[in-house]
Amino acid sequence: MKASAFSYERATSVGNALELLAAHGDRAKVLSGGQSLMPAMNLRLISPELIVDIGELTELRGIAVKGGLLTIGALTRHVELQRSPDIAAHAPLLVEAIAHVAHPAIRNRGTIGGSLAHADPASELPACMVALDATIVIRGSNGERRIPAADFFKGIYETDLSAQELLVAVELPVMRTNGAHFFCEFARRHGDYAIAGLAAQAIAAGGVFSDLRMAYFAVGDRPVLARAASRLVGVAVTPAVLSEASAGLAEELDPQEDQQASASMRRHLAKVLMARCVAALLGRPDLNAGRPG
Amino acid sequence: MTAPIAISLDVNGERFDAHVPPRLNLADFLRDQLQLTGTHVGCEHGVCGACTVRLNGEIVRSCLMLAVQAHGASVQTIEGLSDSGEVTDLQAAFRDRNALQCGYCTPGMLMAAQDLLKQQPAPNREQIREHLSGNYCRCTGYQAIVDAVETTARIRRGSRS
């Protein structure tokens, strides 16, 4: 199908975009790369009256590292994340995750800000932001505010952003000493939305985690930071410890059922991912040898 | 407000000035206003890849872009790649290997395959499959397409050395 008719404004600055959003509120939609918005409009899932195109706002583009903080502008495209030496050095989890985001032609247009603001619970980048403990930088007419990624995602396509605000950047702590990451997802076809996926960031030394953030996607209405991961921190991970954490994970998850998978299949896949993740991060293939849980 | 907006863009090396309604996507603009019907429209939500074109040298989905967003850009369609001879060998390999039947996906396939070969002169079959993973073909089962891309890569490498 084709999108229904709308008016179009090409924002000339962040200030100008905010003025347009203040005037039109939720009758307007922000267009950045359009790789989530355009399908939704073509399918007539949404029919905004006004499109505010922020694609020309070069001030929202780019990647910078300063004082232990990696800042990524909202308009930075997936392909730029994938090729950036700064991302490879300081947030390698993202490089791995991006390879699973759709296909090359989509990654050439799609932006990190667009993906996060869209907040599809099955998409990779929101979970990565939660795993990396990112801060989402939001600008409104009253100035800027910062919110932890774990509090930003509220539900399916729902975030803390109001209709008058713009997501302008994300800030990530650079990877610490002994930092390690893991990314894996199950999908029907490479690049499709995940059936279940896991993005994890850890600090491990001597076979013991001192920090482990496991952010699941496609198993809830938003990225889920597994509380059960705490059972794996500060202890020698044995099959019994892992099995207990795995049982805890299955209990805390409340996955949806759809045409791709049942809730119990998603729960099972989440446990498989946990075992793979822990085995990979600790270099302990024995922990992934048996069936989980 | 939903009135046509003036755009100016370069398509296959030729400058075009037009007035387009905001809702018009780039694929429909190319097909209906410029009569460049080699760009195909399949799913209209970015899944099938039939509408793949080059925008400023990079492949994109023309169904997931508004024509107004292409203002000031340089677009290349399959007609451009074909006429310039850039993909002549790839087209021949598709023909030789029967890598198309109905041909609906072929312009998008050629766009994506040529994009890969520009970035990676010696891709293995897995890399070819991954790069073409966003392009659906309902006739061939893909095997012949992968063969054709692999053969073209090999011949291009051979002719350079």
**Model confidence at B161: pLDDT above 60:** no
**Model confidence at B18: pLDDT above 70:** yes
Q: Does A104 touch chain B (CB under 8 A)?
A: yes
Q: Does A1 touch chain B (CB under 8 A)?
A: yes
Task: End-to-end CA distance of chain A: give it in Å, rounded.
Answer: 45
CB distance A109 to B60 below 8 Å? yes
Q: Is A66 left (phi over 0), alpha (psi -120 to 50) or beta?
A: beta
Which residue is associated with the tokens 């070069």?
A58
- pLDDT tens string B121-157: 999 999 999 999 999 999 999 999 999 999 999 999 9
C-alpha–C-alpha distance, residues B12 and B10, integer Å: 7
Tell me how close the Cα of A162 comes to any Cα of chain B, in angstroms. 24
Residue A291's pLDDT is what?
A: 54
Per-residue pLDDT, averaged over B60-68, amounts to 98
Residue A141 has a CB neighbour count (10 Å cut-off) of 11
Q: Does A9 touch chain B (CB under 8 A)?
A: no
Determine what percent of chain A is predicted with pLDDT higher than 90. 95
- Residues 154..213 of A with a Cβ closer than 8 Å to B: which? 189-191
Give contacts of A1 with chain B, Cβ < 8 Å.
44
Residue A175's pLDDT is what?
A: 87
- pLDDT tens string A257-293: 999 999 999 999 999 999 999 999 999 999 998 654 4
- Please tell me which residue of chain B has the smallest CA distance to A4: B23
Tell me how close the Cα of A9 comes to any Cα of chain B, in angstroms. 9
- pLDDT tens string A141-176: 999 999 999 999 999 999 999 999 999 999 999 988
**Mean pLDDT, chain A, integer:** 96
Banded model confidence at residue A1, pLDDT cuts 50, 70, 90: confident
Residue B161, exposed/middle/buried by CB under 10 A (0-12, 13-18, 19+)? exposed
Give contacts of B51 with chain A, Cβ < 8 Å.
none
Per-residue pLDDT, averaged over B30-36, amounts to 98
Residue A290's pLDDT is what?
A: 64
**Model confidence at B50: pLDDT above 60:** yes
- Say if the Cβ atoms of A109 and B65 lie within 8 Å: yes
Q: What is each CA distance from A174 to A71, A128, A178, in whole angstroms?
A: 10, 14, 12
Residue B160's pLDDT is what?
A: 63
- Please tell me which residue of chain A has the smallest CA distance to B5: A8
Residue B104's pLDDT is what?
A: 98
Using alpha carbons, select from B91, B85, B93 the residue that is nearest to residue B106: B91
Determine what percent of chain A is predicted with pLDDT higher than 70. 99
- Say if the Cβ atoms of B64 and A51 lie within 8 Å: no
Give contacts of B41 with chain A, Cβ < 8 Å.
none
Give contacts of A7 with chain B, Cβ < 8 Å.
1-2, 22
Its ipTM equals 0.95
Q: Does A74 touch chain B (CB under 8 A)?
A: no
The predicted model scores a pTM of 0.95
CB distance A62 to A73 below 8 Å? yes
Please state at what angle helix B88-96 crosses helix B106-119, rounded to 10 degrees.
120
- pLDDT tens string A178-234: 999 999 999 988 888 899 999 999 999 999 999 999 999 999 999 999 999 999 999
Banded model confidence at residue A119, pLDDT cuts 50, 70, 90: very high
Q: Does A83 touch chain B (CB under 8 A)?
A: no
Q: Given strand A179-186, what is the order of strands in its sheet?
A: A179-186, A196-205, A208-217, A224-225
